[in-house]
Every structure is written in C-alpha cells, then in structure tokens.
C-alpha cells in the first residue's frame, strides 16, 4: 500500500538526526551529502512505493558489489564516470577553456608504477600469439602547439582476451604487461610497441553484469587504449582511443567513445627493424594536445584510489 509520510515533520526531523545535521561535530560536507542522498532515497522509496523485499535486495546487491570489488566498474557501467566528464567539460566551457585532446574516463584498471623509458617502450612483456603487433606513436604538444619535451605518456590496455595485467582473472599475465610510461624527448615524440587489444567484458558472474542483465544491456567495451598524459605547466589529460572498426565502437557499456578519439589504423612496414616478428604491423598515430594549468594549478585533477605495484 502506498503511504505518504516523507514530507512529515517526523520524517524530516529523523533525516536531520540520522545525518547529525544539528550537531556541532563531525565532517560538515559528509553530513550535508549523506543528508541529501538519504533524503533523495527516502523520497524515491515513497514515490516508487518500494517494498521491503526490493529494499533488501538492493542492500544485498551492495554487499555483492563490494565482495566482487566492482564499485568502480559499476560506476563506469551506470554512466557515473562519464557524467563526471560531462561536468568537467561544461566547467571548461563556462571558463572559456577549449581545445586540447578530448578527455574520457579512466576506468578502474590503471596500475601505478609501470616502468618509465625515454621516447619509446616495448610493453608487450608477455607473449600473446592471438594478438598482432601494434605501434602507437605521436607527439605531445603544449598549450602553444609546440612539442612538449619531458612529458609523461602513461599507457595501459588489454590483451587478446580483453584482460588487463594485475586484474587478469586467469592469472596469466606478469606485472605491468601491456603497461608502460614513456617520457618524451626534445621533439615531444612518444612510441609504444605493443600488441592489438581486444575489448573488455564485465565478469559474467559479477554484480555489475548482474545489474546490466536486468536492464537488457551488455557489459562490453570496444577495443581501446588508455592514457594519462602530463607535462610541466600542463594539466594531466586522462583519455583513451578506440580501435576503429570494432563493432562496439559506438556501443560502449562505459560510454567512453568520443569524436576525436577514434584514430585510423594503418598498416606499417618494417616491423622487424622495430623488433616485431613480422614486417607488417598495425600502426596508430595519435597526438596529444595538453591544456595549460590554471593559475599554476591543475584545477581538474582527479584523486581516486588506484592500484599500485
């Protein structure tokens, strides 16, 4: 039976008590946020007339989400992570900041601490016979459009099974496979020699896929490569490009695909001189344009818990 108590003084007082809004101590921001989100939840329970069984199913879902270590994966899948990007883009627009390589979500699978090399890195540390050789290269430019020396390009991507090292459920990959950091030389150039990734799929038994199933949505991403790019006096860029031709290019469960982040895949010649096993390889040229700091600060720097090895 639908009841209407949310707006009552009793319930409103109760919400203030729960968040200790009238107490002097505690963290003011936490109290404010908890009060608002709990109020919105209570209101939704009333408006949708959620049953006790539905509420307990939701609570148990949160337990499974944590047990599966998938909260950040769910954040990508329900568009929360992309929504953060939409807000950052709008902040920039309102501040009159434009240009630069488009940002897109980080995702949950970065690992800090990958080896750093200058100008070029071979990052397919493990064999993967199902993935062909891939060269990724380009230039990092600064705010004036000039090549940026000493910039750091961090790169990470999946193997031919769509799995990332450190998070591989098969345990097959060694530390930092398909991960590396290149420092640009005076010409601003970087290069990664690696192997072609395949798109990621959510763990089929995990909490994220469980919810997506209820929505009749898939939990797959097109093949993609992640980057953090940073340099002196510039903002750190978080982005990815997708591999053109992937059938899921514009049907990414994490909503990361953007115009400007789908570079052409060409055929390169001279692979053996690069250390590849074949003369031909796939070649992606992708330049990064960084934006300057605002009054000496990276005003949009994102701090979140990240794996490190």
Binding site for Fe ion (CB under 5 A): 107
Residues 183, 231: Cα–Cα separation, whole Å: 9
- Tell me which of 161, 179, 221, 235 binds ligand MBD, using CB under 6 A: 221
Are the CB atoms for 170 and 198 separated by under 8 Å? Answer: no
Residues 124, 174: Cα–Cα separation, whole Å: 10
Which segment (17-25, 104-112, 138-146, 296-304) binds ligand MBD by CB under 6 A?
Answer: 104-112
How many CB atoms neighbour CB 122 within 10 A? 14
| Min dist. Cβ of residue 109 to ligand MBD (A) | 5
Distance of CA 1 to the CA centre of its chain: 42
> Can you list the pairs that 171-178 forms with residues at least 24 positions away whose Cβ atoms lie under 8 Å?
172/126, 173/126, 174/125, 174/126, 175/309, 176/111, 176/113, 176/114, 176/115, 176/123, 176/125, 176/309, 177/123, 177/124, 177/125, 177/126, 178/123, 178/124, 178/125
- Tell me which of 73, 123, 182, 193 binds ligand MBD, using CB under 6 A: 73
The entry of Fe ion, ligand MBD, none near residue 111 (CB within 5 to 8 angstroms by kind) is none
Residues 303, 58: Cα–Cα separation, whole Å: 28
Residue 138 or residue 199: which is nearer to ligand MBD going by CB?
199
The entry of Fe ion, ligand MBD, none near residue 262 (CB within 5 to 8 angstroms by kind) is none
- Residue 109 engages ligand MBD in binding (rule: CB under 6 A): yes
The entry of Fe ion, ligand MBD, none near residue 291 (CB within 5 to 8 angstroms by kind) is none
The interface mask with ligand MBD, positions 226-265, x = CB under 6 A, is: ----------------------------x-x---------
Residues 184, 188: Cα–Cα separation, whole Å: 5
Residue 109 or residue 139: which is nearer to Fe ion going by CB?
109
- Tell me which of 31, 100, 107, 257 binds ligand MBD, using CB under 6 A: 107
- Contacts with ligand MBD in 177-206 (CB under 6 A)? 200
Q: Which positions lie near ligand MBD, rule CB under 6 A?
A: 73, 76, 105, 107-109, 200, 221, 254, 256
């Amino acid at each position: 039976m639908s009841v209407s108590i949310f707006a009552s003084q009793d319930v409103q007082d109760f919400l203030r008590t729960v968040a200790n809004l009238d107490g002097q101590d505690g963290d003011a921001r936490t109290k404010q946020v908890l009060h608002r989100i709990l109020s919105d939840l209570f209101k939704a329970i009333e408006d949708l007339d959620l049953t006790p069984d539905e509420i307990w199913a939701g609570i148990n879902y949160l337990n499974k989400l944590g047990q599966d270590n998938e909260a950040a994966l769910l954040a990508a899948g329900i568009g929360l992570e992309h929504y953060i990007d939409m807000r950052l883009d709008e902040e920039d627009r309102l501040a009159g900041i434009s240009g630069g390589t488009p940002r897109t979500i980080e995702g949950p699978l970065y690992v800090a601490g990958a080896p750093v090399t200058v100008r070029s890195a071979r990052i397919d540390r493990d064999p993967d016979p199902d993935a062909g050789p891939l060269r990724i290269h380009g230039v990092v430019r600064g705010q004036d459009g000039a090549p940026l020396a000493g910039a750091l390009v961090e790169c990470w991507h999946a193997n031919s099974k769509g799995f990332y090292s450190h998070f591989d459920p098969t345990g097959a990959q060694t530390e930092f496979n398909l991960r590396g950091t290149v420092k640009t030389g005076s010409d601003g150039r970087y290069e990664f020699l690696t192997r072609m990734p395949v798109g990621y799929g959510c763990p089929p038994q995990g909490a994220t896929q469980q919810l997506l199933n209820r929505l009749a949505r898939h939990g797959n991403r097109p093949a993609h490569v992640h980057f953090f790019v940073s340099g002196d006096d510039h903002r750190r860029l978080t982005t990815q490009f997708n591999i053109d031709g992937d059938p899921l290019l514009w049907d990414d469960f994490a909503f990361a695909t953007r115009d400007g982040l789908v570079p052409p895949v060409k055929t390169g010649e001279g692979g053996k001189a690069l250390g590849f096993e074949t003369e031909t390889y796939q070649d992606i040229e992708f330049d990064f344009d960084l934006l300057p700091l605002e009054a000496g600060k990276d005003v949009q720097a994102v701090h979140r818990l990240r794996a490190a090895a």
